[in-house]
Amino acid sequence: MSGRVALITGATGHLGQAVVKRLSQDGTTLAIHYYQNEALARKLREEVESLGGQAAILQADLTQESGAEKLIQGVISVFGQLDILVNMPGAISNKPWDELNQSDWEGIFRSNLESSYFCLKQALPTMRSRKWGRIINIGFHLVEHLGSFPGITPYAVAKTGLLILTRTAAVAEVANNITVNMVSPGLMEGGNLPAGLKLKPGQIGKAEDVGEAVAFLASEQARAITGVNLIVAGTWKM
């Protein structure tokens, strides 16, 4: 996507790195966001630049709206535009649901839901002015089922809220040629897998699969797709 500028928030995570590398293959100019891991962000930028791509790293605390505003304005200041936003942050807690305190809930909500909302809200004005935009939120593959999630309750609730936000924004931005979609990974190779889990080859996805899904939804070929939750989870638990 030569000529397009993409911001990947939470880019230093396992999935974020895969998205950065995949989008760089299409010639997309990349704004690599990090919160604490500056060394890894710099390494990602160097990888992109070594392959002839263009990238910048930007730090921000996205749990505060002021941080999201700083980040979006930073991208526009560096590159002059923002066309694609990929919201990657996603802290998770495995604390039993009936032992959670206020801080537990607030931390997960800020990371998984509020940060994405703040970035989406701040990115919309520049996308509206250009009449083109792609917003891709990263979800959770089981949110469509509205089941029981006793070990990850705040995470599941936050990702369900993010799906509702995705579909709300998708409807609202149709006239502005801005698509808003979600990519929802399941268990991933190289991620945190449950102890003792026995899997057959191909049952779970790879980070690169998420990168491919994001790249497609960010492309011109996906111009007629909006409000969709694309599940990338292999066949595990289907």
pLDDT tens column, 45-101: 999 999 999 999 999 999 999 999 999 999 999 999 999 999 987 777 777 777 878
Instruction: Quote the pLDDT of residue 96.
Output: 77
Q: Is the pLDDT of residue 150 over 90?
A: no
Place of tokens 């709300």: 168
- The better pLDDT of the pair 4, 144 is held by 4
In a domain, 45, yes or no: yes
- The better pLDDT of the pair 19, 233 is held by 19
Flag the least confident range among 96-100, 106-110, 224-228: 96-100
Burial class (CB in 10 A: 0-12, 13-18, 19+), 127: buried
In a domain, 122, yes or no: yes
In a domain, 237, yes or no: no
Instruction: Quote the pLDDT of residue 8.
Output: 98
List, in order, residues 6 or more apart from 170 with CB less than 8 Å away: 179, 180, 181, 226, 227
CATH of the domain at 228: 3.40.50.720
Contact (Cβ atoms closer than 8 angstroms) between residue 142 and residue 150: no
What is the SS3 assignment for 205? strand
In a domain, 238, yes or no: no
DSSP letters spanning 28-91 = -EEEEEESS-HHHHHHHHHHHHHTT--EEEEE--TTSHHHHHHHHHHHHHHHS---EEEE----
Contact (Cβ atoms closer than 8 angstroms) between residue 210 and residue 154: no
Most confident of 39-53, 89-103, 222-236: 39-53
Q: Is the pLDDT of residue 238 over 60?
A: no
Instruction: Quote the pLDDT of residue 24.
Output: 96
Instruction: Quote the pLDDT of residue 175.
Output: 96
Q: Which two tokens stand for residue 86?
A: 């990929």
In a domain, 196, yes or no: yes
In a domain, 16, yes or no: yes
Q: Please count the structural domains in the chain.
A: 1
Flag the least confident range among 69-73, 122-126, 153-157, 160-164: 153-157
Instruction: Quote the pLDDT of residue 206.
Output: 87
35 Rama sector, left if φ>0, alpha if ψ -120 to 50, beta otherwise: alpha
In a domain, 189, yes or no: yes
Spatial separation of the C-alpha atoms in residues 208 and 188, rounded to whole Å: 10
Q: What is the pLDDT confidence band of residue 234, given thresholds at 50, 70 and 90?
A: confident
Instruction: Quote the pLDDT of residue 188.
Output: 73
Q: What residue numbers bound the domain in which 196 lies?
A: 5-232
List, in order, residues 6 or more apart from 109 with CB less than 8 Å away: 154, 157, 158, 161
State pLDDT tens for residues 110-119. 988 999 999 9
